Structure 1
């Protein structure tokens, strides 16, 4: 479904209010924070209710994350209580069996995507934090950038 500008303007405040209500009702002890729009939206709402919410960013030391500068900008803008955990191949290999067990499947893409989340959740659990916002699912709600240019028919084919 493609929205025209008027429809978009009409629905945006409702979507924002809904996200705000969900965050408020499900306030977590901490947050895994990335430069993704999903976690930025959740963090923006969360700090309204819990200004000092602990936020953890995962950084693979053998990678070249393009979003590091965006994380820094958003941390400063939102005044987040933030830290970064840098992890390497050893930590990935040590946790791989646990991630496969948690996922209950061996899908290389899912394992790769879930690894930093698993490590981050483990770190936050060790700190005594019991619930964590991850930002997962907002992309599914608001869409991915690669989807925005697709017609409804093209979008349906790719689902």
Structure 2
């Protein structure tokens, strides 16, 4: 048995003989909080519809609110009008789910099928706006940028996204094997540090971004969730295999959120996939690697490390760094305020200052770990102790 499996068993999330279900009162509480948030957030012109659980819930639950209220308010507008879905390859998995959801809700869906070369046209805009050459950030953001650009071209002014659900309800797979105390501490830290590229990208395009999961009451509820409510096993019946693309007992994050909307959300039990998987940009690293001679890459890595003190990890990282230099140039004195390189608190891989003492991930180059911190639960205990001491003094 692996260490992860042992930890999983010790923490009580090995598959149960009886399927787990959250307390129905808690499920209903979350449901009502998100419906309330959607009521405040709509009408909204369009949604960036990946077809994952987060946007499936928002799109379909928005119409739950609408249907509940339309008979008492004849002037009530539809909560959403359009949906934009960006696909970069024929194998992208978002198309099946997003088209099903659009059909079920009557949304005017614009499916944007682009080549990887085409979507890379958004790269310079993303790097200038986000001030980064981090491959993971940019791989996701070029898809968001294209979706927002298309939304703007269609005349939409307000655009809804599913930002925050993964951070608040443990959607990321690397969180699923954490013991309860560590998950709690890590989730609390994510709640404070989470940032979303759609916000600056939308602002740069003159659009308003709507993020219903970031409602204060929804955030507060998530901070009170137990580990079992966030991460647990669900039994996928055989007759839903075509829909869930899963069968049997499977581990899921965002468990209580899925339970709260499983009746209406088509993707309620879809497996969590990063945006680059659903849209198809996962092939970018391989595409860049195959387009460059390994010896040329090594020479460029050595030159940049010697001249600028920046570690370039692979061909994709190199291409993004070249665009970064094209956008911002060589004169550090005229770089934006975020891009400070004065040696006070540098990332070990690029030399740009880290944003805060708690930051372990460099948002400029993508280096992780960018520093070694105590475990999150220790930081949480120290913070709580400091707060208690301050309150009693």
Give TM-score scaled by structure 2 length.
Answer: 0.36
Q: The residue matched to 2:136 in structure 1 has which SS?
A: helix
The answer as to 2:76 corresponding to 1:60 is no
- Higher helix residue share: 1
Which consecutive residues of structure 1, in runs of 5 or more, have no partner in the other structure? none
**Offset, 1:45:** 2.4
The corresponding residue for 1:151 is 179
The corresponding residue for 2:134 is 107
Q: Does the aligned pair in 2 maintain the 1:52–1:80 contact within 8 Å?
A: yes
The corresponding residue for 1:11 is 26
| 2-structure distance, mates of 1:111, 1:13 | 37
| 2-structure distance, mates of 1:83, 1:15 | 31
For residues 102-158 of structure 1, give each alpha carbon's deviation from its aligned partner in whole angstroms, at most 9, with x where no partner exists: 212221101011111111101111222111001111222232162445421453468
Give the number of equivalent residue pairs: 155
Pair 1:70–1:128, CA change in 2 (3 A):
closer
Q: The residue matched to 1:135 in structure 2 has which SS?
A: coil
Larger radius of gyration between Structure 1 and Structure 2: 2
**Offset, 1:80:** 2.5
Pair 1:67–1:92, CA change in 2 (3 A):
closer
- Structure number with higher relative contact order (C-alpha < 8 Å, ≥ 6 residues apart): 1
Give TM-score scaled by structure 1 length.
Answer: 0.82
| 2-structure distance, mates of 1:14, 1:94 | 44
Q: The residue matched to 2:162 in structure 1 has which SS?
A: coil
The corresponding residue for 1:25 is 40
Q: The residue matched to 1:53 in structure 2 has which SS?
A: strand
**Offset, 1:6:** 7.1
The corresponding residue for 1:41 is 57
Q: The residue matched to 1:12 in structure 2 has which SS?
A: helix
Q: The residue matched to 1:132 in structure 2 has which SS?
A: strand
| 1-structure distance, mates of 2:53, 2:113 | 21
Q: Does the aligned pair in 1 maintain the 2:126–2:141 contact within 8 Å?
A: yes
Which consecutive residues of structure 2, in runs of 5 or more, have no partner in the other structure? 1-11, 13-19, 67-77, 187-374, 378-393
